[in-house]
Amino acid sequence: MINVKNKLEINELVEHFFRHESGKLMAMLTRFFGPHNLLLVEDIVQDTLIEAISNWTYKGIPENHVNWLYTVAKNKALNVIKREKYQEKYIFENLHDAKIHQQIDPATIDLFSEESIVDDQLRMMFMCCHPSISQDSQVALILKTLCGFSISEIAKAFLTNNENINKRLVRARKAIRENKIPFSVPSKQQIDLRVDAVLEAIYLLFNEGYSASNGDDVIRKDLCQESIYLAEIIATHKFISNKSKPYSLLALMQLNAARFKAREDENGDIITLSEQDRTLWDYQMIGEGFSNLEKAAQNKVFSKYHILAAISAYHCSAADFESTNWGNILSLYESLLTIDNSPIVILNYSIVLAKTGKIIEALAELGAIEDQREMKSNHLFYATKTEFQIALKQYDLAKGTLKKAIALAPLSKEKRLLKNRFTTYFNKK
Whole-number Å distance between alpha carbons of 250 and 17: 23
pLDDT band, very low/low/confident/very high, at 323 (cuts 50, 70, 90): very high
**8-17, 294-303, 415-424: segment of lowest average pLDDT:** 8-17
Confidence check: pLDDT of 37 > 60: yes
- The pair phi, psi for residue 295, each rounded to 5°, is -65, -35
Looking at per-residue confidence, does 201 or 312 come out higher?
312
Per-residue pLDDT at 115: 60
Tell me the pLDDT band of 105, cut-offs 50, 70 and 90: very low
pLDDT score of 76 more than 50: yes
| Residue 78 pLDDT | 81
What does the pLDDT read at residue 103? 44
Strand runs (DSSP E) across 23-116, as ranges?
Answer: none
159-186 mean pLDDT: 90
Distance of CA 256 to the CA centre of its chain: 13
Which residues, in sequence order, are CB contacts of 294 under 8 Å at separation 6+?
A: none
Q: Is the pLDDT of residue 354 over 50?
A: yes
> Can you name the residues that pair with 264 across neighbouring β-strands?
270
Whole-angstrom distance, CA of residue 140 vs CA of residue 146: 10
Per-residue burial over 184-200, b if 16 or more Cβ lie within 10 Å, else e, is: ebbeeeebeebbebbbb
Q: Which residue has the higher pLDDT, 242 or 274?
A: 274
Residues 15, 86: Cα–Cα separation, whole Å? 31
Average pLDDT over residues 223-233: 87
Residue 85 has pLDDT above 70, yes or no: no
Between CA 110 and CA 95 the distance in angstroms is 14
Q: Look up the pTM and report it.
A: 0.80
Q: Yes or no: say if 239 and 296 are a contact pair by the CB < 8 Å rule.
A: no
16: pLDDT strictly greater than 60: yes
Mean pLDDT of the chain: 84
251-308 tens-digit pLDDT? 999 999 999 999 988 877 888 899 999 999 999 999 999 999 999 988 777 899 999 9
- Predicted confidence band of residue 66 (pLDDT cuts 50, 70, 90): confident
Percentage above 70 pLDDT, the chain: 87
Q: What is the pLDDT of residues 113-131, one digit of tens each?
A: 666 777 888 889 889 988 8
Domains in the chain: ranges and CATH: 1-112 (no CATH), 113-212 (no CATH), 353-429 (1.25.40)
Query: Quick check: 428 pLDDT over 70?
Result: no
What was the pLDDT predicted at 111?
54
- For residue 89, is pLDDT > 90? no
For residues 79-102, average pLDDT? 55
Is the pLDDT at 1 greater than 50? The verdict is yes
> Of 166-180, 186-200, 332-346, 362-376, which range is least confident?
186-200
Is the pLDDT confidence value at 70 over 60?
yes
61, β-bridge pairs: 2
The predicted structure's pLDDT at residue 268: 76
- The band of 163, judged by pLDDT with boundaries at 50, 70 and 90, is very high
Question: Alpha-carbon distance 294 to 289, whole Å?
Answer: 9
- Using the predicted structure, report yes or no on whether residue 100 has a pLDDT greater than 50: no
Cβ density class 97-120: b for 16+ within 10 Å, e for less: beebeeeeebeebebbeeebebbb
In single-letter form, the type of residue at position 155 comes to A
